[in-house]
Chains A and B, each alone.
Chain A
Amino acid sequence: MSKVLMKGNEAIGEGAIRAGCRHFFGYPITPQSELPHYLAKRMPEVGGVFLQAESEVSSINMVYGAAGSGVRVMTSSSSPGLSLMQEGISYMAGAELPCVIVNVMRGGPGLGNIAPSQSDYFQATKGGGHGDYKLITLAPASVQEIIDMMAKAFDLADQYRTQVMVLGDGVLGQMMEPVELGEMKEVEQLPKPWAATGLRGRSERNIINSLYIVPEVCEELNQKLFAKYAEIAAKEKLWEEYQLAEAEIVLVAYGTAARICKAAVEKARANGIKAGLIRPITLWPFPTEVMAQAAITAKEFLTVEMSMGQMVEDVRLAVNGACPVHFYGRTGGMVPTVTDVLTEIEKLAGGDQQ
């Protein structure tokens, strides 16, 4: 199988098409624009729908309509655009509509900049919009992983009737790497008997709705959602371990930051420091168990993020006081270097020896 050179943003689009997605609604924003560019050309080739909406608010509501009609649908945006979509995502959570939402994060808050960042972690993993809900958050770290992950994203969305966010950053979106695409295959999809498609002989009406005016009924919905989330948490946690065996200093990082950490761990090991890395692939559900396990033998944890420290809170909860959890982060679009991270590792290793 031959490899092709592809940009991360394009890989998201191609991966979605290969996952059977034929509907995309979005609004331009940097640094994810190559994705709508790619799909504007590619969707018509596969008989799909590409529509540029008038705003992010509209795009997510178009996704709501399409998802409720039973099709595989995706939107994509970047940080400020994602903020605008939060209302719609909350409605989709209430109506249990499956969809894939891509966020190629940039520096913030506010208009911020178009440089890579990871500062939307809270918004991605804690709900983000109003009300009690969660969404599955997948964090790829390479262009190949993006291609493979898109099928997983759509399958999870349909299986659990939930929203799945693919959370990348400007580095991942913009970088080019060789990828193996494999063959285009017909995708088997779950039937969606709940979709509102017109009665067409059905006697029971299908209603797509998130209005639960009676508190008892609304609480029931929330309990039903959280039972579903508990099932997702039990079954769908994904992570990668790197040099974790006998690691005394355990790094935790995702996406682009994890790639930097991997290189730093290699250098630390070469210098005789027993460092290792846990890379969460699902940010929600968060792979807590592997961290709790590693914390039993580790001396120090170091969380590295392109933010002021958001995931570090989840790491601390997972480690639960078993060992100290330190943080190193750059923000506003600054990317940590391998040397920066190695210095932090060395500080922790040195501190231990003193």
Chain B
Amino acid sequence: MIKEVFKKTSVLTDKPFHYCPGCTHGIIHRLVAEVIDELGIADNTVGVAPVGCAVFAYDYFNLDMFEAAHGRAPAVATGIKRSLPDRIVFTYQGDGDLASIGTAEIVHAAARSEKFTTIFVNNAVYGMTGGQMAPTTLLGQKTTTTPQGRNQELNGFPIRMSELLATMDGAVYVARVSVHNAIHVNKAKKAIKEAFMAQINGLGFAIVEVLSSCPTNWGLSPNEALKWLEENMIPYYPLGVFKSPAEVD
């Protein structure tokens, strides 16, 4: 008797990911897709893809999808959700998209407590455009636009978006997770499910920040990159639930 213990979720298309070897976008896509599958909402969900490495996310999610301009996914999602309030809407955004060019959009979507869910992938670098400094780049971290390492005098400090958004009354669920090992992948999935549940329950704006790796632009092997994430990113970007619906009640 053969028992199936693992299979591809139908919420992802058959199109092979274009992501670099060792990039964790693939894992995060899969987690979002599994959650949508398990919640039984695929038929009623609309996703919004960002500009950046995940610009082709609409090719991978087997859902109705929008491709938004850089940083504007929360505004686009607002337009969708206000037009179709009974649909489940999510945005999938990177750190350049959400924490730099789209800071206004995400802050105000949270302030209005827009009833959609945001998956925020933070790999501390601009991936697609060539490894430039992101708002989340760590102090001392070398990128193509901080060749000597990020210097606070020149470049300012990294932004902790989850902590910032958790201060807002409109945010009902804010969590930071990581996908650098299997235990944390499972925790990440749990958080993503909570964020979608907050929307299904009509509570308001929910965001999950997922710490992710970029072996290509960090100049590390996939394994080294995961280790770097654990040792360097987690100390600055602590994991945990910053706000949950229970606290909001």
* Interface of A toward B, CB cutoff 8 Å: 23, 25, 49, 51, 53-55, 57-59, 61-71, 73, 87-88, 91, 95, 196-201, 205-211
Contact = CB atoms under 8 A, between A and B. Distances in A.
Interface stretch (B25-33, B81-89, B167-175): B81-89
B75 A65 contact: yes
B77 interface: yes
A205 B64 contact: yes
Nearest to A67: B79
Contacts of B200: none
A54 B105 contact: yes
Contact of A198 (B67, B76, B87, B108): B87
Query: Which among A23, A25, A205, A206 has the greatest number of chain B C-beta atoms within 10 A?
Result: A205
B66 A68 contact: yes
Given A205-B64, A205-B65, A73 B79 contact: yes
Interface in B75-101: 75-84, 87-88
Contacts of B65: 196, 205, 207-209
Contacts of B107: 54
Query: Which among B55, B72, B77 has the greatest number of chain A C-beta atoms within 10 A?
Result: B72
A24 B42 CA distance: 28
A64 B70 CA distance: 13
Contact of A58 (B42, B84, B87, B104): B104
B24 interface: no
A198 B84 contact: yes
A140 B73 CA distance: 34
Interface in B15-55: 42-46, 48, 55
Contacts of A208: 65-67
Give the secondary structure class of A's interface.
mixed
Given A65-B77, A198-B46, A73 B83 contact: yes
B75 A196 contact: no
Contacts of A51: 78, 82
A55 B65 CA distance: 24
A49 B66 contact: no
8 contacts: A49-B82, A58-B78, A58-B108, A61-B76, A61-B105, A65-B83, A87-B69, A209-B58
B63 interface: yes
Interface of B: 42-46, 48, 55-56, 58, 62-69, 72, 75-84, 87-88, 104-105, 107-108
Nearest to A52: B112
B63 A199 contact: yes
A66 B43 contact: no
Contacts of A200: 43-44
A196 B64 contact: yes
A64 B64 contact: no
A197 B66 CA distance: 10
A101 to B, nearest CB: 14
Given A61-B68, A205-B62, 15 more contacts: A23-B82, A49-B82, A51-B82, A57-B105, A58-B108, A62-B82, A63-B79, A65-B77, A65-B79, A66-B83, A73-B83, A198-B45, A199-B43, A200-B43, A200-B44
B55 A197 contact: no
Nearest to B67: A209
A224 B127 CA distance: 32
A205 B75 contact: no
Nearest to B79: A65
A39 to B, nearest CB: 14
Contacts of B44: 198-200
A210 B65 CA distance: 12
B67 A197 contact: no
B72 A58 contact: yes
Contact of A211 (B46, B55, B82, B88): B55
Contacts of A87: 69
Given A61-B69, A207-B64, A210-B67, A69 B84 contact: yes
Of all A-B residue pairs in the complex, the 4 with the closest CB atoms, nearest first, are A65-B79, A61-B75, A62-B79, A196-B64
Contacts of A207: 58, 64-67
A198 B64 contact: yes
